[in-house]
Structure 1
Amino acid sequence: MSAPVAPLLEVRDVELRIGGLHILRGVTFDVRENEFFTVIGPNGAGKTSLLNVLSRIYHPTAGSVAFDGRSLLEVRRTGLADLGIARTFQNLALFEHMDVMDNVVLGRQRLMRSGVLTGAVWWGRARREEAEARQACEPLIDLLGLGDFLNRPIRDLPYGIKKRIELARALAVEPRLLLLDEPAAGMNDEETEELADWILTAKQELGVTVVMIEHDMGMVTRLGDRALVLDFGTVVTIESPRAAIADPRVISAYLGDETEEADDPTATGTIAVGIPLGQDRKAKHA
């Protein structure tokens, strides 16, 4: 009988306190290699804080985080790319004056070894590495359908295309683990659906493991293999996305106690009323 395969990412009993705030409380979960793992929860649940722990922006107060058997808490933030971990953020961080290829190539900096001097004068090794990086990024440009926008400045492109460029830049790191922080934030339904297609295509073609925070439940149920639900920094459940959003505890976390007024959350892939942080939820936890 074969031994069980160790998870790619292991999070154990993670606590996070910042000042007087207790943000994460004993968070424990595993992510298997090639899995599409989603993290959902109401506003203020601790989702982005959890991603900040995984990407070494925050250091947890207690607990452990391991990637491929190695403690991430002993790795500097600048060393994550060398391990094969890449991240996108809610807000775009593209260089607006540069074109698409220049932005995507920046994702390959960890693979380039030129010194400051040769890089500054773009000579010798630096010039060769630049050419190699551009060549290596061409399949990503094709994979994400960015060829038609290649030589246009970022500032002239639609928001949905910019999100796709940011995804391509993260994939240029050649990650084994891709962390996505609300990739559909600020997008309309059509843009969200299109971006979901590109994310799924990239995952399938490149074999990358994904951990994604997202508020759009249609996107979560379509893409996710499992969903971790957080509420006030505590794990509510970890199961399939459709099972998770149908869980009475999850509906209660989003909507307060008035669950009898909620629509069937599995009918459209969304949790009832669009998930604003309503007065009922505030009063419940006051």
Structure 2
Amino acid sequence: MSTQDLPAALDGAAARFGRYLEAERGRSAHTVRAYLSDVESLLAHAATEGIQDLAGLELGTLRRWLGAQSESGKSRATLARRAATARAFTAWAVREELIDADPALRLKAPKREKSLPGVLHQQQVQRLVDAAEAASAEGEPLALRNRAMLELLYASGVRVGELAGMDVDDLDPDRRTLRVLGKGNKERTVPYGLPAALAVDDWLRRGRPALATGSSGPALFLGARGGRVDQRQVRSVVKDMLERLGDTAATGPHALRHSAATHLLDGGADLRAVQEILGHSSLATTQIYTHVSVERLRQSYQQAHPRA
């Protein structure tokens, strides 16, 4: 059943939940779409069981929905996320008095598989930035931009969406810091190093003016036609750079974020400082990078110690 075929009461509840996430919780448009995709999947399943409004939702309905997701091959991480969405939705419905009791209170889903994120070695990062610098040597605007984006992603650990959304005045060149608008519209200040500062300055002096148009506005990074660079373009640039590196399975800008966090901890940075830099709301999210560091240490030990 498509979402267009949902009973009016269910469709209306989904729409109200979306407005709540956006207006009251300050969720981004991307996050709202992700939540609503899961909620609409649940309600479409409920409709196939003859449920016409939220009062008909039962724990069994939620469990059968997750079961169908599992049978279709969805990963444990996806099932855990969808169960969390269902709990958020039904808890909201109780608060809004759309239902009397919360059917998801006893809903459980498989625990997420704990996977270590792809991380580049410091030597690989050096080769990556060396290649970007060589490509920008002739001053071609897009090459200058690509080098600056790469340096800034690794130097600051920002998310790709945060990078694409930056304006020129978000930079403080004197203090070498960035003003970053992160998830939930939370603002943070992030430092960056001298190599990134030099690359960004080169882009601003020689690259950006060559691409800027009257409609470019304050965007820090521009596309070939002068508009603000979008996330897809950034991902494509970094993906191509990593593929040319040749000896890593890491893909995309998030690998640079993972690498920045891991290398900070490897270098002795405080875990809470790394949490602040990355913009994690929970320290537990940052702690996965300590596992990465320990795993890398273990691998090095096994390779190097004669009695490993």
TM-score when normalising by structure 1: 0.24
| Larger RCO, structure (CA 8 Å, separation 6 or more) | 1
Select the structure that is richer in helix.
Answer: 2
Select the structure that is richer in strand.
Answer: 1
The structure that has the greater radius of gyration is 2
